[in-house]
Structure 1
């Protein structure tokens, strides 16, 4: 069964590279952050701009939604982590501590903790209520490119340009496991599968690898896209219980969709005019969001469907 697609919206309010797009956990909003120092919130059903959040003094690389879809956390080149109340449309916290650019950020499932990764090679775990740093983990020997909590919040996975993915015990900050490909390509992004048994790791050799967390073995490798320079996001799209796909942006301006099991490229979504840096799957509907670098600077929302006529 193949995929068909339709671009529902092209959102062009940012005037610099759009570094990240993520749907809210309830699926009603899409957030985008940019080198233009802003976060923009969009209504998913209409494609209308709802809010623009301002407060950082340099560009924003990543964002994370709280589970209740009220708060957005941001990672900025101004070395701070920001927290925004989207109901009040205001910044409610700005945390300092990282010594260099903050590159990635993630709420835990309970939203009482926040993890951030930086070009200072550390991960910080923050108490959301007080803003206090609970732990500083000397995590990697290069930029920390992604952090994410497991489904139950007990483990954090991180990736780095040092070529490794590492797993950390949330409570103690101890390293549980390190995954490395023999050729040591820089790891540009990592994320847990929905059940947290697997991780999807993107590397700068234009490959995406699906690792089994328990066995520490590579199960699948996905190729065909171009990823040699940028930290490009990848994600899972679950269409129904029997159809799951892996999606990634690409430096050739396309979006690639692979069948999870067969590893075959099912679709290339075309429409962006610059490298596609970020992709995000809607939590409930067969929707995909994407964003691109300069000079495109746009966000696109796509509807995916199984095409039974192919």
Structure 2
């Protein structure tokens, strides 16, 4: 369901439907370690420059925090629905979680506390793997909805900035251009769109 590089370009961590996280050595093409999460992993991120902290989002409504040097997760946060995606702010201070209770949760990782929740009466998460993403600089976030819309919120004020409507089926993923306000979105009907500067 998800894969990310660790501290060096020869190591990758994957999160799977089989409830495991696996660390892979790309040189030997072998799995070097398996962590048993106990629930299907929908997404994961590495939260520090060294790649020693892994954060995983799960079907059982939990976000788990792992130290790569130990077997077990260090702690976890329980949300109100299945976690469909995670995204990390560039400074690694904030975590964005898309949740099947039709909310996006902003978590301050310095305190492991939810600091803001984003929702709207017409916003519904489209599937168990819907992806939300921080915009460049972390001021905006975007996420696709079941009705084919893309919702853009201001992370600082909590205000809904805009709703983009062009897709005809559920939007499953969004991605921001790293240096501009361009936003790409893709839907279940295999249609991809690029939106102008937001």
Checking the alignment, whether the CA contact within 8 Å between 2:54 and 2:68 is kept in structure 1 is yes
Q: Shift of the alpha carbon at 1:172?
A: 3.0
Q: What is the deviation of 1:271?
A: 0.8
Give the whole-Å Cα distance in 2 for the aligned partners of 1:270 and 1:111.
38
The aligned counterpart of 1:290 is 185
Structure 2 stretches of 5 or more lacking a match?
none
Provide TM-score, normalisation by structure 2: 0.92
- Counterpart check, 1:121 vs 2:16: no
Q: What is the rounded CA distance, in whole Å, between the counterparts of 1:189 and 1:297 in structure 2?
A: 19
SS of the counterpart of 2:135? strand
* Aligned partners of 1:205 and 1:228 also within 8 Å: no
Residue matched to 1:231? 129
Deviation sequence 1:248-298 (CA, Å, 0-9, x none): 1111100000011111110111111100000011112221111100xx211
Number of the residue aligned with 2:108: 212
Instruction: Provide the C-alpha distance between the structure 1 equivalents of 2:192 and 2:38, rounded to a whole number of angstroms.
Output: 31
Corresponding residue of 1:146 = 43
Structure having the higher Rg: 1
Q: How far has the Cα of 1:302 moved from its partner?
A: 1.6
Counting matched residue pairs gives 195
Match of 1:111 among 1, 6, 9: 9
**2:92 equivalent to 1:196:** yes
Q: Which runs of 5+ in 1 are unaligned?
A: 1-102, 306-310
Contact 1:157 1:191 in 2 (8 A): no
What is the CA-CA distance between 1:189 and the residue it aligns to?
A: 1.1
Check 1:285–1:154 CA distance in 2 against 1; reply closer, same or farther (3 A cut).
same
Q: Which structure has the higher relative contact order (CA within 8 Å, separation 6+)?
A: 1
Q: Is the 8 A contact 1:277 1:292 kept in 2?
A: yes
Residue aligning to 1:300 = 193
More strand per residue: 1
Deviation at 1:110, TM superposition (A): 2.9
Q: Alpha-carbon deviation of 1:174? A: 3.5
Q: Is the 8 A contact 1:232 1:249 kept in 2?
A: yes
Residues 169-188 of structure 1: pairs in structure 2 closer than 5 A: 169-181=67-79, 184-188=80-84
